[in-house]
Structure 1
Amino acid sequence: MESNDETHTAKVALVGDRSPHVRSHTRIPLLLETLRQRDGIALDAYWVPTEEVHATRLDRFDAIWLLPGSPYRSETGALQAARTARENGIAYLGTCGGFQHTLLEFARNVCGLTTAGHAENTPHAESPLIAPLACSLIGHEGMVSITPGSAAERILGVDRTVERYHCGYGLNPQYLDVLSAHGMRFTGHDGPDVRIAELPGHPFFLSTLFQPELAIDDGRCHPIVRAFAYAAVAHAAGGATVPVTTGRG
């Protein structure tokens, strides 16, 4: 991508309990440098532990990325990060545990399912919103089918993609209809199982059960990470349109 005449440095909150043992966390510096060198995108990134979200003005950031690493030290902090982005039109990406807590926040605060739970945090719940996967995806890759006309399709530029996972929990399918009825759109599937969720009408609100931060192809970031970065810059520029190159090329 060629540089714009006027560049804007986007302020991005990386919400998660940073650990050298979480592979996605260790990839972040490489991603930021790749975005700077290959795409000319300047991101000013700040790590925000989940237990410090309540004391952080996340609404002053251009973008929020709820990263993997659950169980989080503060479930409340993780949910607040997703809610802040959703309610304030801030560019948002949730991956793996971030995907799970994105749906949990939406269920509680939009769908009215105030007791919706996550089986990792409340293992004895009878019908958790986020439940153990029938087959764990820790260390696995899998095919994801993309819904035509979705934001995910525009970003990825394909109707199917192979993605990397490191998770053991996903959306309980019995809640799919109620979340959909309240506006959440599910646009990536592996068979009947949900892998991508997006929120129509929001400038950029995308969550994936897979971890796009683990993929760097030929020195370029995954298209979803790149699109998120462009959306952050667009927010910093006051909502100006920023071109997004779809696909992995």
Structure 2
Amino acid sequence: MKPLRIAIIGDFTANKHTHIALNEAVTHCRQHLDFPIETTWAATDNIPVSASIPGYIDALWIAPGSPYKNDDAVYKLIRWARENNFPLLGTCGGFQYMVVEYAKNVLGIVDAGHEESEPDASQLVIAKLSCSLKGQQEEVVITDKDSWLYTVLKKDVITGFFNCNYGINPVYTRKLQQGPFVFTAFSRSGEVRGLELKGHRFYKGTLFQPPLDSTPEKPNALIMDFFRRINVNRESLSING
């Protein structure tokens, strides 16, 4: 059987616990699925200017670990996936970069920026959180009952596992949520924790990190569903810039 091939976009660090957890979560899922999975980490500083990815790749996972060594490459891949109906999952840093890309290239917020990597940008759509979520857990309220999160988890409230200091600047929440770009989950205080692009084959993002809530006996349900959905109707697509 042809394996499902996922490119994990990020700068893997062997002693970074969130990267270790991501790899372990894939192993957890692999033991419970009836099809093979192959994952490959793609270091951002090795991605060509054209942001090309081999045609045998079935989906992208933008991993935690921002700022990346090559932010531009990450933004190009996110844009290509969004515009070409190519499956993409973004967690933590991936979620944040999905927001900035959409703000710049769809909503016309040309100077949209990420405070961690672009502190001088005039419109910081991603900014430092009011309270750090580094190594924290938090209740996440799923507000969109038609969302991927609710469809999979079937809960109004879940526990999110985080490892970040940055998220959507509340000042921009209403402006960013336009058309098919929808915020699906929030903290108790109203800060965005989940997003998806309606009508897209698979374009989902979470500020929380699903791998941090995965065990060999009970692999994370969101990651399992990501793999299963891509496997159902996968196509070989090639990123050409």
The structure where strand makes up a greater share of residues is 2
1:98-129 Cα shifts (integer Å, max 9, x gaps):
11001011111111112111000122334311
RMSD: 1.8
Aligned to 1:167: 164
Aligned to 1:11: 5
Give matches, 1:1-249, under 5 Å. 7-54=1-48, 57-58=52-53, 60=55, 61-147=57-143, 148-190=145-187, 191-217=189-215, 219-236=217-234
1:167-202 Cα shifts (integer Å, max 9, x gaps):
000001222222212421001100210000011101
8 Å contact kept, 1:17–1:49: yes
8 Å contact kept, 2:113–2:122: no
Farther off after superposition, 161-170 or 54-63: 54-63
Counterpart of 2:142, as a letter, is I
Q: TM-score, normalised by structure 2?
A: 0.89
Counterpart-to-counterpart distance in 2, 1:118 and 1:77: 15
Higher RCO (CA-CA < 8 Å; seq separation 6+): 2
Distance 1:216 1:50, change over 3 A: same
Q: Which structure 2 residue ranges, 5 or more long, are not aligned?
A: 237-241
Identity of aligned residues (%): 33
Query: What is the CA-CA distance between 1:66 and the residue it aligns to?
Result: 0.2
Q: TM-score, normalised by structure 1?
A: 0.87
Q: Would you say how many aligned residue pairs link Structure 1 and Structure 2?
A: 232
1:213-238 Cα shifts (integer Å, max 9, x gaps):
11114622211111111122124368
8 Å contact kept, 2:7–2:40: yes
| SS of structure 2 residue aligned to 1:54 | coil
Q: Where has structure 1 moved over 3 Å in runs of 4 or more?
A: 124-127
Counterpart-to-counterpart distance in 2, 1:218 and 1:27: 12
Counterpart-to-counterpart distance in 1, 2:202 and 2:54: 15
8 Å contact kept, 1:137–1:166: yes
The structure where helix makes up a greater share of residues is 1
Query: What is the CA-CA distance between 1:146 and the residue it aligns to?
Result: 0.5
Q: Which structure 1 residue ranges, 5 or more long, are not aligned?
A: 1-6, 239-249
1:57-96 Cα shifts (integer Å, max 9, x gaps):
3372211000000111111111122112212222211011
Query: What is the CA-CA distance between 1:134 and the residue it aligns to?
Result: 0.5
Counterpart-to-counterpart distance in 2, 1:236 and 1:150: 21
